[in-house]
Chain A
Amino acid sequence: MKNRVRELREKREWSQGELGERLAVSRQTVNAIETGKYDPSLPLAFKIGKLFGQRIEALFEFDEETR
């Protein structure tokens, strides 16, 4: 799944650790989400969306090739 988490985080000048703290996940989990190696659960995706003031569809894009 492609996502805009890194772009939005960098826009706010947050480190991965800072974002992790806000989402109550580890820095490594943030990194795995940003690099597309891990697709977050629905509650976590909603939490990310709420934090950045975005709808989930605007944040995550389903990528058929990576399935």
Chain B
Amino acid sequence: MTRPLLEVRELRTHFSIGRSGFMRRKSVLRAVDGVSFSIHEGEVLSLVGESGCGKSTVGRTLTHLETATTGSAVFDGRDILSLSPAEFRPLRRDIQMIFQDPFASLNPRLSIEQKLAEPLFIHRLVRDRSEARERIAATLELVGMDAESMSRFPHEFSGGQRQRIGIARVMILTPRLVIADEPVSALDVSIQAQVLNLLKRLQRDSGVSMLFISHDLGAVRHISDRIAVMYRGTLVETGEKRQIFETPRHAYTRRLLASIPRLEKRIA
């Protein structure tokens, strides 16, 4: 088998809680406590677990939004966790993140064009504004939005449209790894399905690797190739999608699957 695109080994991210100060004892929250997994080119790995299990922190640590305590994450031959912020910046183009809340993840003061042009200029992917506009229009079309929407502002869009814009902001850089942190859980059921289909199609067409972080087992089954189940900061089980859903090994995975409310009868 070829070398994976991303290989995470014994990742630990601890937070000190409560301000350290006079007469105060520091206590440590072990949000991520020894997590190892790998993602191959073109593969979708899901990180599934309940709130507070540390799954989001894994994604935020891999994008340098949080600082890893120990461990390594080798991306394309380099350990990204040991890089300084300046050294990591050029790599941001390759490792992109989709956020949960489409209402909070778009700066209300910037138009869609400004928002989407920003990464293009930062990473010097375009020379001038007209080139940027061309690329923005093409990317907006890719996520099912009109090119005209680029002159508008976030408040003019619905939640589903905003999440499409958030996805466009990520895909415009043609990244190699997309970390999607609960990308559909803030959306209505019917919109969730649209966005899940969109993500799946974009992933297939571009061959990008994806770390899909979610608590929604249905969404996870729909989109992933492999699944890692996280519980209290550690991975309890990792396996192929079918294996996890059909022959779960760990007791927690079984409990999780048994908790899903069943629909009375499926319409074929």
Same assembly:
no
